[in-house]
Amino acid sequence: QRRGRLIMELNLAAVLLFSLASLSALRCQQPINCRWGSFGGWSECDGCTRTKVQTRRVDVFAQFGGTPCPG
């Protein structure tokens, strides 16, 4: 019984050390700020609202505490 308990304690210690190492690795990442892509072309004029729409997509999403895209 002692041997089984010792193995469990060692496994728990290994899991905790691995978790801390993983957390430290994440903290070492440099922040990546969000970056918008270019605007696409204008849509056709909507007859009901009399508006045109222009869209763009996110090229790079914010990661590791970087600034999110506004809007």
Residue 20 pLDDT exceeds 60: yes
Q: Is the pTM of this model over 0.75?
A: no
Is residue 12 scored above 80 in pLDDT? no
Total number of residues shown for the chain: 71
Burial code (b: 16+ CB inside 10 Å, e: under 16) for 32-70 equals: eeeeeeeeeeeeeeeeeeeeeeeeeeeeeeeeeebeeee
CA distance 20 to 25: 9
Q: Are 35 and 69 in contact (CB under 8 A)?
A: yes
Residue 50 confidence (pLDDT) = 95
